Chain A
Amino acid sequence: MELLVNNLLRKIQSSPETPLLWVLREELDLTGTKYGCGQGVCGACTVHLDGAAVPSCLISVEQAEGVAVTTIEGLAGHRAFGTVEAAWLEADVSQCGYCQPGFLMTLTALLAENARPSEDEIVKGLRGICRCGTYPAMRRAIRKLVTP
């Protein structure tokens, strides 16, 4: 099997029903995508499949064949990444940081689909879990993003 991950074609040995999450983390050593729940609730495993945000714990590697997979390690090339990262750093959002790549994956996908979202649209779209409770800082970052 072959996967296109962060613009590189990778040969995959894992069995086809293996969740994409574990192929990324363990076969490809792309550990920025995290395991948090295995149920698609927490968002820590979020990747882009052809630009759309998807929980990689719920997708088999077979289902990801033939699509462009982007992980946090490959997000720097995303057109929304620079703005999002700058807003996140300015608001100093991250505490333990474990969930943050997942939030950035979700937010960049949202912005790619909707270039001028309202604060409310972003808040509703960011359904992930941050156990450290960085949400107030996220709100400050989001406010900066939506303010022209």
Chain B
Amino acid sequence: MSVALARRAVLGASAASLVVGCSLVGLKQACAQPALAVSAKFNAWIEIGPGDRIGLRVAYTEMGQGINTLLAMLAAEELSVEPYRIDVRMGAPDSHRNPLFDAQITGDSTSASNAFDPLRQAAAQVRTLLIAAAAVRWKCSASECEAVDGLIRRKGTATALSYGALAAEASKLSAPPPSALKPRAAWRVLGKPAKRLDAAVRLRGAARYGTDVRLPDMLYATVRNRPAQGARLEGVDTATVEAMPGVVKVVSLEDAVAVVAVSTWYAFQAAEALQLRWSAPPGDPATPIGVLLDRALDAPGIVVVDRDGARADSRTVALRFEVPPLAHAALEPPCATVAIGPARAEVWVSTHAQTSVRDIVAEVSGLPADQVLVHTTAVGGSFGRKLVGDFVRQAALAAKAVGRPVKLTWSRAEDLACDHYRPPAATRIEIGLDASGTPVRWTQQLAVPSLSPTGAASPRAVDPYAVEGADTLPYAIPRFRLTWHEAAVPLAVGWWRSVGHSFNAWFVEHAFDVAARTTGRDPLELRVALLKDRPRHIAVLRAVEPFLRSPAATGRFRGVAVHQCYGSVIAQAAEISVDKGLRVHRVVCAADCGIVLDPDGLRAQIEGGVVFGLTAALHGEITLQGGQVQQRGLDAYPLMALEETPEIEVVLIGDGERPGGAGEIAVPPIAPAVCNALLAATGKATTRLPIRMSR
């Protein structure tokens, strides 16, 4: 990490503020650079103004996962202030990048881990400079001063100065060498209960989301997207719709038609009235997805893992599992507002891929990227959808077509029918068991569409997103062979909360239980026996064991699953009943997320992840008819509500040097935990999701 000071003159910040940047890229020797060295390596900015508010500019987007609060806590700890004193804002895409992707983009549950050291270091440096400035003022040594709750105090006296009062002088000092971070035992903020910042604003409806943006001279638009992948627009009757009330213009886009109007409602009405002719989609859209996946499974795949410690099996369990495509269905639909001027463009949007958004608007407007300003609004959920900038491109094209700012909002119908879905997937697993029922062979073929674009000429590498969670089979099974079979499906696919883990954990953990129960082995003990080198896996399993083994009321059954992803390990045990259809009553989660920085936020992400994964396991299914997605409303794509939600208990165990991921980890294990409970109840494996119980 390189930490350098930059003077306000270079940054154009307010007259007397102290700004410290820190790089979130690795850890290098900090250098005391002269103040004019503004560097593109900086990813986070701490700013202290005379008004005593502390500003923190970050590279990561708050979308409900609580990262703003956690970043404020990291800075607050070393600054010795309460987190609520800190205003968190997005930094600019060029200077505030995610080091893992070298772009401003939030994802992969990596934000906390990225920011953990550099942000604390930057805050500690600020504290050191403020103390140094106070020491100069009071003509004493720095060791006679301390930072306490927003004040620099002269120890043993009533003399104190606020950070704001010292900021100007501190900004003129040269950067200190890396400051010692507070030891964990001295933490007053990190690791402690903390309420989310901005909660009250959001509860009162005062937060401005992307859909709430309002500009002078702004028009409102929506789209009708192509009804099927690959369909091309052949005809649109613009005249009839342009004569409808409030309609300004009908704009044909590459794969959609936009209607621009004086209000969203008029745009929605007009879009529905559009008579559109589309070419038939290529290929045979009537082929069921399951058939396409089987074709991929039958074709040769790419070897992902081939561990050949052969043992004789005395019995084989052969399974085929399949999962459907899934929609993100964030409650705030895709929406972007774009204003294109002669020299500069601005975009207001719920996004967490700001660099991509900027590049899209630059491309459409023809302006250089550094003349495109991206404003990240409050985000009404994403779960991976708002990484894709298709709706941003549409908004930019509409704005360009009408020469005015345009806010383009997708209807719920378009959001469900034209998503970048969690891909469908299918797998064939053969588990060879020895005489004692221990798995000694695991042979798996995995058919998943690729999420990464593949170059035509280069040999196809394995798509890590397709195989993640399957390639890292944790069990000590001597013979393990995994092949990936890239499947072609007539759907746009994308990243959905926990991505490949969302299906691979189900495939692995449910198959494991089926194998265990085939020979009467206890699923938990069989796991532990094969996880001897995985103490974290064993620890989380043992943590849910008391619940798993506790006497169950009549008609209640339990199942367990364990999974490692994003640096964390999590076990879930689910309790179900089946007498009145499948009901999930209780879920106990034990998670080892390394060092826990924000326990309340982590708990919230685990609870929310269980609900997200359970909704998918019980209800989630996107279906196609003739290449067209059939689900165009929440009535057709039901999402779990409060009444159906089980009791969820979260136990945080383990420790570590670094924080593990939080936002996605609880999604993968719930489907297998529930299906394993169902297996205990009925003796039957679940071979497809969503779970369908016959009455």
A interface with B by C-beta (< 8 Å)? 14-15, 18-19, 22, 25-27, 29, 31-39, 41-42, 44, 71-73, 75-76, 85, 88-89, 92-101, 104, 123-124, 126-139
Contact = CB atoms under 8 A, between A and B. Distances in A.
A131 B381 contact: yes
Interface string B640-660: 111101011000000000000
Contact of A22 (B198, B264, B379): B264
Nearest to B649: A136
B209 A18 contact: no
A132 B612 CA distance: 7
A41 B635 contact: yes
B574 to A, nearest CB: 14
A29 B208 CA distance: 11
B604 A37 contact: no
B607 interface: yes
30 contacts: A14-B263, A26-B264, A26-B265, A31-B214, A34-B209, A34-B211, A37-B634, A39-B633, A39-B634, A39-B635, A41-B635, A42-B634, A72-B204, A75-B204, A88-B203, A89-B195, A94-B202, A96-B332, A97-B64, A97-B380, A100-B203, A123-B642, A131-B329, A131-B331, A131-B381, A131-B383, A131-B612, A133-B611, A135-B642, A136-B607
B453 interface: no
Interface in B267-283: 268
B634 A92 contact: no
Nearest to B214: A29
B104 interface: no
B327 to A, nearest CB: 11
Contacts, number: 177
Contacts of A42: 331, 634, 639
A9 B164 CA distance: 44
Contacts of A19: 265
A38 B411 contact: yes
B608 A132 contact: yes
A96 B64 contact: yes
Contacts of B647: 136, 139
Given A38-B412, A132-B381, A133-B645, 7 more contacts: A36-B331, A73-B206, A89-B195, A126-B642, A127-B641, A130-B331, A136-B647
B189 to A, nearest CB: 16
Given A128-B641, A138-B642, A139-B642, A98 B206 contact: no
B409 interface: yes
Contact of B608 (A95, A124, A129): A95
Residue of A22, A27, A75 with most partner-chain B CB within 10 A? A22
B245 interface: yes
Residue of B198, B203, B245 with most partner-chain A CB within 10 A? B203
Contacts of B642: 123, 126-128, 130, 135, 138-139
A95 B604 contact: yes
A22 B205 contact: no
A76 B206 CA distance: 12
B175 to A, nearest CB: 37
B594 interface: no
A96 B380 contact: yes
A35 B640 CA distance: 18
A17 to B, nearest CB: 9
Contact of A96 (B211, B329, B381, B643): B381
B661 interface: no
A33 B205 contact: yes
A17 B608 CA distance: 38
Contact of A37 (B63, B212, B412, B608): B412
Given A38-B411, A136-B607, A92 B600 contact: yes
B265 A97 contact: no
B412 A32 contact: no
Kindly list the 4 A-B residue pairs having the minimum CB-CB distance in the complex, ordered from nearest.
A32-B205, A133-B611, A97-B202, A96-B64
Residue of A15, A31, A129, A136 with most partner-chain B CB within 10 A? A136
Nearest to B416: A37
A33 B206 CA distance: 10
Nearest to A89: B199
A31 B205 contact: yes
Interface string B606-622: 01111110010000000
B220 interface: yes
B663 to A, nearest CB: 10
A32 B196 CA distance: 19
A120 B211 CA distance: 34
Nearest to B208: A31
Contacts of B203: 85, 88-89, 94, 97, 100-101, 104
A124 to B, nearest CB: 6
B66 interface: yes
A133 B263 contact: no
A92 B196 contact: yes
Nearest to B380: A98
Contacts of A85: 200, 203
B75 interface: no
Contacts of B264: 22, 25-26, 35
Contacts of A100: 202-203
B207 interface: yes
A72 B204 CA distance: 6
Contact of A133 (B329, B378, B600, B610): B610
B206 A32 contact: yes
A59 B65 CA distance: 33
A130 B51 CA distance: 37
B205 A129 contact: no
A75 B206 CA distance: 12
B265 A22 contact: yes
B643 A37 contact: no
